[in-house]
Amino acid sequence: MNHVKIRLLLAVLLVFSTVAWADDIAIISLSGTPSGHSNYDLSGYRFTNSNDINVTELGLWASSGTLNDGHFVGIFNTSGNLLASLNLSAGTAGDANGFAWGTLSSPFTLSAGTWIVAGYYNQNSSDLFQAGDFGNAALTMNSGITFNGGQLWFNSNSPFDPTNPNSGTSTFAAGPNRIAFIGPNFQYTEGATSPVPEPASFMLLGTGLVAAAGSVRRKFNK
If you write DSSP's letter for every residue of 40-95 in order, what string do you get? EEEEEEEEEESS-EEEEEEEEE-TTSB-SS-EEEEEE-TT--EEEEEEEPTTPBP-
* Residue 38: strand, helix, or coil: coil
CA 151 to CA 163: how far, in whole Å? 15
Q: Average the pLDDT over 200-213 and give the result.
A: 46
Q: How many CA atoms lie within 13 A of 90 on its CB side?
A: 8
Closest CA to 100 of 187, 158, 160: 187
pTM given for the model: 0.78
Closest CA to 193 of 12, 23, 9: 23
- CATH architecture of structural domain 21-196: Sandwich (2.60)
144-174 tens-digit pLDDT: 999 999 999 999 999 999 999 999 999 988 8
Q: Which residue has the higher pLDDT, 90 or 198?
A: 90
CA 168 to chain centroid: 28
CA 35 to CA 25: how far, in whole Å? 23
75-98 tens-digit pLDDT: 999 999 999 999 999 999 999 999
Cβ pair 208, 9 in contact under 8 A? no
39-74 tens-digit pLDDT: 999 999 999 999 999 999 999 999 999 999 999 999
Q: Which CA distances in Å does 91 have to 20, 70, 81, 120, 143? A: 26, 8, 29, 16, 31
Q: What is the mean pLDDT of the chain?
A: 82
Q: Which residue has the higher pLDDT, 9 or 113?
A: 113
Q: What are the sequence ranges of the domains in the chain?
A: 1-20+197-222, 21-196
Q: Average the pLDDT over 115-134 and give the result.
A: 87
**Helix pair angle (2-17, 199-221), 10° resolution:** 170
Q: What is the pLDDT of residue 33?
A: 80
CA 214 to CA 208: how far, in whole Å? 10
